[in-house]
Chains A and B, each alone.
Chain A
Amino acid sequence: MAFETQALLTADHSREQSVEQAIAEIQGAFRGPARLGGVTAVRHIPARVAEAVPIPEELEPRVAQALETRGIRQLYSHQAEAFRLGREGKNLVVVTPTASGKTLCYNLPILDALVRNPDARALYLFPTKALSQDQLTELSRFAAELGDGIRTFTYDGDTPQDARKAIRARGNLVITNPDMLHAGILPHHTKWERLFENLQYVVIDELHYYRGVFGSHLANVLRRLKRIARFYGSRPQFICASATIANPADLAAHILEEDVTLVDRNGAPSSDKYLVFYNPPVVNPQLGIRRSYLNESRRMARTFLARGLETIVFANSRLATEILVTYLKEDFSRSPGGPEMVRGYRGGYLPLERREIERDLREGRLLGVVATNALELGIDIGSLDVAVLAGYPGTIASTWQRAGRAGRRQGASAAVLVASSAPLDQFIVQHPDYFFGRSPEHGFVNPDNLEILLNHLKCAAFELPIEENERFGGLDLQTVCRHLTETGFLHHTGGAWHWVSESYPADAVSLRSVSSDNFVIVDNTGEPRVIGEVDFPSALTTLHEKAIYMQNGDQYHVERLDYDDRKAYVHRVDSDYYTDAISYTKITVLERFESRSQKSEVRSQEEEVRSPADGEFRVSNLECRESRVPRPDSRLPFTSHGEVHVNTQVVGFKKIKFHTHENVGAGNLTLPEQEMHTTAWWLTLPQEMLASLPYSSTDRQDGVRALGNALQAMAILLVMCDGRDLGVAVGENSRSQEPGVRSQGEEVRSSELEVQSSTGSEFRVADFGARSSRTPNPEPRVPFFEPNIYLYDKYPGGIGLSEPLYRMSGSLLENARKLIENCECEAGCPSCVGPMGEIGEKGKEVAVAILRGIAACGQE
């Protein structure tokens, strides 16, 4: 079906009416009982007036003049504050909403300094090349007013070779990204002598983006940057900008390892805005099945697009993006030969195509776009009328950023969140107050993750020999450097460690993923050509043989995955299904750092959230090792955190039909097993406590698995990570071992899958997951059952999620209980504890009983 769009609206007031009409239509769309779905919240955020202050007198007159030329005669209060603090030499983190003029917060003090001293240098870091391009455009406008005092360039992988030399020597404001700084600038610092000798400012925008692995890498890149700056005698000042999270100053302090001043009093105005939460209605209450959120998002988008409102649809995965583009292109088919009205936008598209889409959006030539988070960050695509969020973006901060893409200077705009049935989505859409209240989200980094640190130390040694007494982010390097010497990377001589390898270490380290291995996708349909690249972890799940890989609405059947050469050969197809991979996980506890029974935990209401670098805990960790943490009272449930070994393997896939999303087949795969040493949080449920519950042992096992799913969902919310960063698995303790120290667990992600339990000499055959496991064993099982539910960090070595989780155990368990209790399904659904097919008939009930049992223990 194709919709005729109305003539594009120009008058603000008719646009405003359209927005309101569309919202009314959405509200009226589902007339069933509210608890089953429909609109769960409409928040009207009224327009806000600006808190304006005069242009500071201290501002260099030429900069002030440039502002005036551009029509800026006053500043918002936070801009003036940032300018003042910036001039005082403070390291800053500015936290204000989207479209509040935050770039001026760092541009003002820096332009001021550069105009006064054209020899001074500033380095801007943006997480993506697209953002760098955007900032260049913005700064070039200023530079035009300021004569040749400001020489702005971007320096990244796209910069032509012949321009690079000039940029290195002349540019006094260089815009790049952390990856380029890491692999292209720091290892060649001698060519950047002028920059490093005069480096006065470093700007880090979108700071909240740098959490977890990426943030831990960035912190190390900055350690290297400061080291190089020191060599050339400079000591830069840092100015960061971040979206709203609970601990921006804390995150900045851990990434920069410097004192940081927070600027968060927003003085910018905003226009009228509606925020709508929509929960697709339940269609099968038994199974807790809701209408497909993708179909519902398509419907929402259609409602707005058909009114001629410029709409951006955000999807959470490449797959969902492609599905939605396909749907919306069906709805708004272009006239023959005419331009596309709706397009897709995500990583993997070629840069030129992306620039073209950005421009078309800015100039209003495109009515709709379906994007991944690639468009969430501040790329200038102008202002649109409506943002439809297909699925909760995963964090409150991202949700506001995506919603902020809709918002005109005048008139109303709207953002609609369409919840998927994922637990997190359901929790948010059913608890709007949690969303609209103070941000509970924390960003964490762990720059001292050994794997990350070792990689950056290699790079550091490549850049300059490491002196014996040198410290790296406060760390004493002797032990680590000795290790790198023994592994053949360094050579210790004359009081320093020197790089002694032929390799270029930065090439072996990707800041954004576990490995820098990318799989290249070769389309063999016609003349073979490369159509894209996929990083290693995603490749195993999206490019396995027989997978349907999607790009720009086109489908490709993967014919062969050449694992060793990192290539996937695909062929264009027209398929009515897509594929979803199934993986298998096994966990072994290596060491327990700390344990606490939930008795004491629940009583302390307000948990402290400490950052991973906090010294105090580390001391106790060390003691743990020496004295083997005593297991808490064995009758009570307790939580722990520590080191674990994780084995995962992609073992199969499902074929899922488009539109109906029914399962139409499956296949087995044998991909290499991935091993990882990392950290985990876990909850131990003692045998005594479980035995006291009035359920069969199968039901208890189901309940534990159900609880695991709910805990994972809530943990993701609390530590602000991605589902990909935190894994869940269930295992159990064996009494034949030292209690609680060794255990084995396994997880079955899909009920179709058979998993054979392995026996190790140290481990008992785990009978957990008996339903899917068919290990022949004629003898009756030992009735003993004491499970651990693990939430593990999916980055080797851990990026510091487990310890904060351990500190937040109380609210984790409490919120998990809320999630399950408030869910409308009868016996489990994907939105709370997982679907009944996976967690059994009583799984949900038992999970609640366990959580209540834990709470009761706390009140004894």
Chain B
Amino acid sequence: MNLEDKLRQLRSAAQKSSADRELERQLEWLRRRDPSVRPLPAQRFPRGIEHYVDGSLQTNHLGEYFIARQALPFGRPYGKLRVGDVSAADLGALEIFLEGGALPDPARLIYLDTETTGLAGGTGTCAFLIGLGTIEGSDFVVRQFFLRDYPEEKAVLAALAEVLAGYQGLVTFNGKTFDVPLLETRFRLARQRSPFGRMIHLDLLHPARQLWKLRLETCRLTHLEAEVLGVGRTGDVDGSAIPGIYFDYLRYGDARGLQPVFYHNALDIVTLAALTAELARIIRTEAASAAGQAIGGAEEGAHSLDLFSLSRIFERAGDRSRAASVCRRALDSGLPASVEPRALWHLATQHRRSREFEQAAEIWREIARRETDYFLDALEQLAIHAEHRLRDATAALEFTERALGWLRSNGGPPERGGTPAEWRAWSRLERRGALERFGHRRDRLKRKAPGPGAALASLALSEP
């Protein structure tokens, strides 16, 4: 150590306050006690990503950053689709998932997915890999911005904003909750303007859930990719391992582990685009066939559970006639017993709302034939229908008595030690005050129609 270094050391020691020294002393104790603390090799700027990932260093006014770019030709197969389907897709059908606004055509759309240092959110989570998918010429292009280290974030964000500026629409998977707020936070921390405000944003997670949740149970992107697109991923990395891989790279400077992360991210982007096209296709096809038009002829018919889900999507979008017709098709092509009553109830509701009461009543009668879900609801609707529309108090009373009879023998609390499902079912009944409501109805009906009416009601029931 030369004299100058010694002097500098002395000087810095003298500047330390006594509180600082106290802290160091406490720390020394802590370290002696905690064997998990081990010195790291000297920190160095992590390098080496270029050895494992095909990409290049770029420079903008805020510094250097690393970007990987790969182009997938349209002709390349992707599961049961081709990459080019993404560009050819008519996405207009997806507008029912937007709260106003129109989706631009696929060429003005950008697909985005990030890999982050965690899922915790807040200011301490960072997107270290930002993947973008766009259509350029006859290719689907995936660009990936990578943070070789934190100081490059400013340059990366600026470059990202520059690319986004050329597009009008954004498609993500859970981006409304996760990716976009996270990036907005990063922009704010970097004191840069967030580019997202002006973009139309379609978060595919919710549409995908609405359409496939009933059939697939989980709607993770990789799961949809396999089930809906028929893509089999190999060599993928488990998403929960990704932050650790990046941290290890930062600490030890070894970029090898990142290769599968880039791959994972790129696949997510392509899948996102393909899934968008496929979702649009299904909705468009079914909407058309609901309206009595067939497109293309050879299109594959949707699964009956998906049809039921789609019917509910149409309902939410306020399109009752499509909702009813798609639901009827779902029922016709056969639904599992656990779902069928719900679908019937849903279909009846569409008819009721369209004031097609006879059709609705027919379905209610069908539900009421078996003691399944919606059994009580159907009886209640039938009672209402009989009392107020058919003005048949006797029949209404009969439906009511039947509901009450069922409630008396089945509606009590479960035995001690009943299953949670039984308790839930019971508490749902309790909450809805079924017994009380039917009781009131019966009292009222009795005043209206004291005479016997059993014959009429059973007649009503036995009619198909």
Contacts and interface: CB of A to CB of B under 8 A. Distances in A.
A454 to B, nearest CB: 8
Given A189-B123, A494-B150, A625 B25 contact: yes
A187 B119 CA distance: 14
Interface stretch (A167-175, A569-577, A613-621, A822-830): A613-621
B17 A504 contact: no
Interface centre among A494, A505, A526 (most CB of B within 10 A): A494
Interface string A23-44: 0000000000000000000000
A493 B43 CA distance: 8
Contact of A622 (B21, B120, B121): B21
Interface stretch (B243-251, B371-379, B389-397): B243-251
**Of listed A448, A462, A493, A625, residue having the most chain B CB within 10 A:** A493
Contacts of B120: 502-504
Interface stretch (B33-41, B135-143, B341-349): B33-41
B150 A475 contact: no
B423 interface: yes
B19 A474 contact: yes
Interface stretch (B182-190, B226-234, B285-293): B182-190
A464 B243 CA distance: 19
Nearest to A465: B150
Contacts of B25: 621-622, 625
Given A462-B124, A493-B151, A590-B29, A486 B19 contact: no
10 contacts: A475-B19, A476-B15, A476-B17, A500-B250, A502-B118, A502-B243, A503-B118, A504-B120, A615-B18, A622-B22
B26 A450 contact: yes
Contacts of B37: 483, 486-487
Nearest to A189: B123
Contact of A475 (B23, B40, B123, B243): B23
B153 to A, nearest CB: 10
Given A190-B185, A486-B37, A486-B38, A480 B123 contact: no
Contacts of B16: 476
Contacts of A493: 43, 45, 149-151, 250
A797 interface: yes
Contacts, number: 131
Contact of A483 (B17, B31, B43, B185): B31
Contact of A500 (B24, B34, B247, B416): B247
A462 B123 contact: yes
Contacts of A188: 121-123
B456 interface: no
A97 B251 CA distance: 55
Nearest to A483: B27
Contacts of A488: 247, 251
Interface in B35-75: 36-40, 43, 45
B88 interface: no
A492 interface: yes
A286 interface: no
Nearest to A679: B26
A501 interface: yes
B122 A187 contact: yes
B309 interface: no
B19 A504 contact: no
Contacts of B18: 615-619, 621-622
B124 A475 contact: no
A472 to B, nearest CB: 10
Given A462-B124, A504-B120, A622-B25, 15 more contacts: A187-B122, A188-B123, A448-B22, A462-B122, A475-B17, A479-B23, A486-B40, A487-B36, A493-B43, A500-B250, A501-B118, A503-B118, A503-B120, A619-B18, A622-B21
Nearest to A622: B21
Contact of B123 (A464, A621, A625): A464
A487 B37 CA distance: 5
Contacts of B22: 448, 618, 621-622
Interface string A494-529: 101011111111000000000000000000001100
B353 to A, nearest CB: 28
B30 interface: yes
Nearest to A487: B37
A658 B220 CA distance: 58
B20 interface: yes
A677 B25 CA distance: 13
Contact of B184 (A190, A476, A483, A526): A190
A643 interface: yes
Nearest to A497: B150
A468 to B, nearest CB: 12
Given A450-B30, A465-B150, A502 B119 contact: yes
B117 interface: yes
A186 B43 CA distance: 29
A495 to B, nearest CB: 8
Interface string A460-481: 0111110000000011100110
A408 interface: no
A317 interface: no
Contacts of B29: 590-591, 643, 677
A461 B17 contact: no
Interface residues of B, number: 48
Interface of B: 15-27, 29-31, 33-34, 36-40, 43, 45, 117-124, 126, 149-151, 184-185, 188-189, 243-244, 247, 250-251, 416, 423
A617 B184 CA distance: 47
Given A193-B188, A462-B124, A494 B250 contact: no
A616 B15 CA distance: 15
B250 A480 contact: no
A187 B17 contact: no
A491 B150 contact: yes
Contact of B188 (A190, A492, A503, A625): A190
Contact of B39 (A464, A486, A492, A616): A486
Given A190-B185, A448-B19, A480 B27 contact: yes
A263 interface: no
Given A475-B19, A491-B251, A502-B118, A463 B151 contact: no
Contacts of A527: 423
A191 B194 CA distance: 13
A677 B33 contact: yes
A669 B142 CA distance: 62
Contact of A505 (B121, B124, B126): B124
Interface in A157-201: 187-191, 193
A190 B250 contact: no
A450 B150 contact: no
B417 to A, nearest CB: 10
A463 B120 CA distance: 12
A615 B124 contact: no
B123 A190 contact: yes
A191 B121 CA distance: 12
B16 to A, nearest CB: 6
B432 to A, nearest CB: 18
Nearest to B32: A590
A453 interface: yes
A266 interface: no
A485 interface: yes
B177 to A, nearest CB: 12
Interface in A621-662: 621-622, 625, 643
Interface in A56-109: none
Contacts of A474: 17, 19
A492 B43 contact: yes
A560 to B, nearest CB: 18
A500 B126 CA distance: 9
A584 to B, nearest CB: 22
B25 to A, nearest CB: 6
Contact of B20 (A187, A475, A526, A643): A475
Contacts of A503: 118, 120
Contacts of A591: 29
B180 to A, nearest CB: 13
